[in-house]
Amino acid sequence: MITNVHKIMPEVAEGVRGGNGMVSAHKLLDLFPGSAIKSMGLVRLEPGASIGEHSHDGDEDFYYCIAGTGIVVDNGVEHSFTPGTLQITRDGESQAIKNTGETELVFLGALVATTDTSDTADA
């Protein structure tokens, strides 16, 4: 499978998970059958925008910063989020993110299932 972010129209939303401002996402992959990867996308937060705190159940999420400056909240603790930073939210944990800079905050986000969905038979 090959996909290109420049050929995908972004989905734009306001107040994502109780956050503020506009968030746009180019969904590179969404609910791919048979894969543990539930979704993957390039996400952009305008200055001052945020994705509100939320927890994960049965999946893990990661944010990898590409450009901009922000704060990521990892289980209630704030951390600087700058290019090269990876934040992982494990099953049962929580996260939030906010653009604190003067330019877009751009990151790659991926949601991966943690539960085993493969069929297994007793021997």
116 has a pLDDT exceeding 80: no
Report the distance separating Cα 54 and Cα 48, nearest Å: 18
The model's pTM: 0.85
Residue with tokens 């069929």: 119
Q: Is residue 46 part of a domain?
A: yes
To the nearest whole number, what is the mean pLDDT of the chain? Answer: 90
What is the model's pLDDT at position 62? 94
Q: Which domain holds residue 58?
A: 12-113
Q: Is residue 120 part of a domain?
A: no
Q: Is residue 93 part of a domain?
A: yes
Q: Is residue 66 part of a domain?
A: yes
Q: Is residue 119 part of a domain?
A: no
Using pLDDT thresholds of 50, 70 and 90, give the confidence band for residue 1.
confident
Strand partners, 62: 88, 110
The structural domain count of the chain equals 1
For residue 85, the SS3 value is: coil
Give me the sign of the Cα torsion angle 19, 83, 95, 38.
Answer: positive
Q: Which residues contact 8 (CB under 8 A, 6 or more apart)?
A: 26, 27, 28
Query: Phi first, then psi: what are they for 38, rounded to 5°?
Result: -85, -35
What is the model's pLDDT at position 32? 67
The CATH number assigned to the domain holding 19 equals 2.60.120.10
119 has a pLDDT exceeding 60: no
Using pLDDT thresholds of 50, 70 and 90, give the confidence band for residue 37.
confident
pLDDT in tens, 51-95: 999 989 989 999 999 999 999 999 999 999 999 999 999 999 999
When comparing pLDDT for 39 and 33, which is higher?
A: 39
